[in-house]
Structure 1
C-alpha cells in the first residue's frame, strides 16, 4: 500500500477513479490510518490493522469533520486497544453507546412534562381503551380554542386540569408543586382534578421505571402525598336515580323531545343499563336484528353481548342511517359524527317531568335499582350492565347464554314500560303504540 504524509492539500487533491467503487491512501505518520474516497468525492478517515488473524476496517469519521491530527490520535488509540488485546470495534461501539446515553440523559433532563406525556400516551395506548386514552388527552389539553358551548358563555375552551404542569421539567414536579396545583384545582373542578391526580400518579410511576427519565424523578412519587389527597377530598357516592313512580312522567317527557335521536338514546340508556359512552359509541354493525343482540364496547372486558329487546329494537328501527356514518346515534353537527353531549336533552326532559338532579349516568343506576322490584338475579343484572363478577361462582362457574339473559332482560323492559303506562306489543313500531 502506497503511503504519503497526510496534508490538507494532498487530501483535497485525492480522488477516486470513475471506474472504481472506492480508493484508498495511507498515512506515513500513523500506521493503519487511511482515507477512503468514492467517485462522488465523499472522504472518510479509516483505521485498518490486523487483529486476531483478521484485518477489520473501522471508520473514524468524515474528513470534513476531523482534523488530520485528531484522526491520527484516534488511530493511535485504536492501535493501543489492539496492543492490549481489545477489539477496537467493540471499544468504538461502547464509546458510541456511552455518548448516546449521556446525550439522552442530558436531553431527558431538559424534557418537559408535555413532551414525556406524549411519549407516555404512545407507549400505553395499545393497553388502554379509547375512552381512557381520550381522558388523558382532555386532561392535558391547552384550551383557548373557540367553542360554541360548554364554556358558560366564555366562548373559549378551558384548559385541562393538568395543563398547568405540562410546561415544567420532570425534575421540577415536586410534592409542593403538586400540592399547590391540587389546592388550586380543588376550588373550581374537584372531580376532574381527582381523575387528573390518578392519571398523574400513574404517569410518574411510569417515568420512575423508564431508563431515560428515572434519574429526573423524585425519590418518592410527588403525587402521593397526604396534603394533595386532602386538598382534593374524597369522591362522594351519587344517588340520583329514577323511582318507579317517576317512570311515567320521565318516559312521557323523553318521548316528547324534539330530537328523535336524543329521545331514543335516553330511552336505550335506561333500558339497557349501559354506560353513557357505551351507547353513544354504538355502531350499526353492533346491532344484530336477526339474532336480536347488541355488541357493547365496554371498559371491563373490551366488549359484551346483550339482548336486543323488542322496544329497544323498535326505537333503533326508527332512527335514520346517515351516509358514511357508522353510528347509531348519529349527528351531522358533531365533530366525530355522533351525539357528543346528552346532558342538554336530559335536562330538558327532567325539567318537563319535574324530576331534579338526574344525570345520564343516573339512568344506569336506575336500571340496577329498578330490577330490585322484579328480584332479578344479581349476576344477570351485572352481566347485562357490564359489571365485574363479584363472587367466585360468578367468575368461574356461571356462564349465561344470550337466550337466558334475554328472558330476564325482556321482563325488565316490559315491566318498566308497564310502569310508564306504555302499551307496547313486541311486533309493533313505537310510533304506533297505544
Structure 2
C-alpha cells in the first residue's frame, strides 16, 4: 500500500498489487527509498521510470515495463540512470541517437530528399540511380556501419563500369552521410568516404571538351534539317543557336514565350535563376514553326508522362550515321561557346550562358544586361554560327550597285527575302556571307 505521500517500497509484490488506472489516466508511485525512482500505472500496464533535473530541465527516463523487467533489475537500472543524469548526461537524447544511428542508408537518403526540397527532379533521379545501381546492397544497412574499407573496395568495383560513375557514387554517399551526421549531432564515425581523399584514390576524370567542329557544321546542319521529326530537328537547332542546356530547353513552356516581344525565358536552369533571352531572326523562325505545329503547353512536346521531349537519341544516331559526326546534346553548348568566343565580350558570354559571376569580381556586379541589350548580341551570335555553317546570313551587305553593276541593290534584296519563305538553314551554302 502507498503511504500518505503516495510512496511505496517498490518490489514485485507491491507493484503487482497496484490497481490499474482508469482509461485515459496515469498514476505515478514513487519509491520510498530511492529518490527519483518510480512506477507509472496506466489502464493497461505498469512501467518503471526515473526522473531528475538535468541542466535545469526535468528529465524523465523510462526503464521498462513491469513483467518484462523485474522490480530488482528496475531498481539497479534506476541507480545507474540517476547516476548518469546526475553527471548531466541526457539519456533520452543518447537513446534517440542510438536509434537513429541504426537508420538505414536508404532511409537517410529519403530524409535527405525531404530536407532538400529545392533539389531538381533530375538531381533526385540521378542520386537514386547511383544508389540503386551501385549501392543497392547497402540500402538496408545502418548508415553508421558503413566503413572506410567498404567504401574503398566499392569505389574500385564501380570503376569497372566507369571512373566517373565511381566518383559520383561516392560523392553522393559523402553528402548523405554528412547530412546524417549533422542530424545526429556528429555522433557518427568519421565519414568513411574521407578514405578516398586520404589515400588519393579518387579517379581523375577529364572534363569533356567535345564539340561539333566548325568544319563539320555544314554537313551536321544539313543532316539535322533532313530529319523527319520536326520537333527534334528544331530542338537540336535551338540548342546550337542558344547554347542552352538540354533539360531547360526541352521543358520550355509556351507560357514562357512572348512571340510579340520576340523573347523567351528558360526557367528550369541549373543555377535556379530564370534566363530571359531575345530571339534572333533565325530563332524567331524556329518558334514560328513550333507555334504552327503546337500540340500542348510545351514548345517541344513529347509522348511521355512529362508532356515534353526527353531523349531524342534515335534521331541523333541518325545524324551521326549520316555525317560521321559524333555528338552529345551538351556538345551543342560547347560548340556554341567555342564558335562565339571573341565575338562577344566575357561578361556578355557569361550572361548568355547564364553563368554566375565570380563573387570576387566586383566589376561583374555592375554589369547588367537586360533582354533588349542582349538582342543585338544574340543576332551577332546567330550570324556567326550561320556563317561558320556556310548558311545564309540575314544581314549580308551587298557591294554598292554603282561600283558593281552585277549585284542587286539592297531594296531588291529585301523584297526577295520577304517573298522567300524558306528558313535560313534551307538555303544553299553558296549564299553564305560573313556577318558584320
Same fold (TM over 0.5): yes
- The structure 2 residue matched to 1:330, chosen from 301, 314, 321, is 301
After TM superposition, the score normalised by the length of structure 1 is 0.71
Number of the residue aligned with 1:262: 232
Asked whether the equivalents of residues 152 and 196 of structure 2 are also in contact (C-alpha less than 8 Å), the reply is no
| Residues 218-242 of structure 1, C-alpha deviations (whole Å, 9 max, x = no match) | 23x2112247975551111323112
Number of the residue aligned with 1:365: 334
Count of matched residue pairs: 356
Number of the residue aligned with 1:132: 123
**Whole-angstrom distance in 2 between the partners of 1:321 and 1:116:** 43
Number of the residue aligned with 1:123: 115
**Whole-angstrom distance in 2 between the partners of 1:317 and 1:386:** 24
Deviation at 1:386, TM superposition (A): 1.5
Number of the residue aligned with 1:317: 288
**Whole-angstrom distance in 2 between the partners of 1:199 and 1:184:** 16
Number of the residue aligned with 2:5: 31
* Structure 1 unmatched ranges of 5 or more: 6-27, 50-57, 142-158
Describe the shift of the 1:315–1:382 C-alpha distance in structure 2 as closer, same or farther (beyond 3 A): same
Describe the shift of the 1:93–1:167 C-alpha distance in structure 2 as closer, same or farther (beyond 3 A): closer
Deviation at 1:393, TM superposition (A): 4.6
After TM superposition, the score normalised by the length of structure 2 is 0.71
* Structure 2 unmatched ranges of 5 or more: 8-17, 31-37, 64-88, 395-416, 428-436
Asked whether the equivalents of residues 61 and 92 of structure 2 are also in contact (C-alpha less than 8 Å), the reply is no
Asked whether the equivalents of residues 263 and 278 of structure 2 are also in contact (C-alpha less than 8 Å), the reply is yes
| Residues 147-178 of structure 1, C-alpha deviations (whole Å, 9 max, x = no match) | xxxxxxxxxxxx2x343432322122111101
Aligned Cα root-mean-square deviation (Å): 3.5
Asked whether the equivalents of residues 20 and 45 of structure 2 are also in contact (C-alpha less than 8 Å), the reply is no
Asked whether the equivalents of residues 45 and 61 of structure 1 are also in contact (C-alpha less than 8 Å), the reply is yes
Asked whether the equivalents of residues 287 and 293 of structure 1 are also in contact (C-alpha less than 8 Å), the reply is yes
Deviation at 1:294, TM superposition (A): 2.0
| Residues 244-284 of structure 1, C-alpha deviations (whole Å, 9 max, x = no match) | 23221111111111211111111111100111222122222
**Whole-angstrom distance in 2 between the partners of 1:169 and 1:266:** 46
**Whole-angstrom distance in 2 between the partners of 1:224 and 1:166:** 20
Matched, 1:285 2:255: yes
Matched, 1:66 2:46: yes
1:149-188 superposed matches below 5 A: 159=133, 161-188=134-161
**Whole-angstrom distance in 1 between the partners of 2:314 and 2:166:** 24
| Residues 47-100 of structure 1, C-alpha deviations (whole Å, 9 max, x = no match) | 599xxxxxxxx9944132128xx6xxx7xx88xx8xxxx79x963557799564
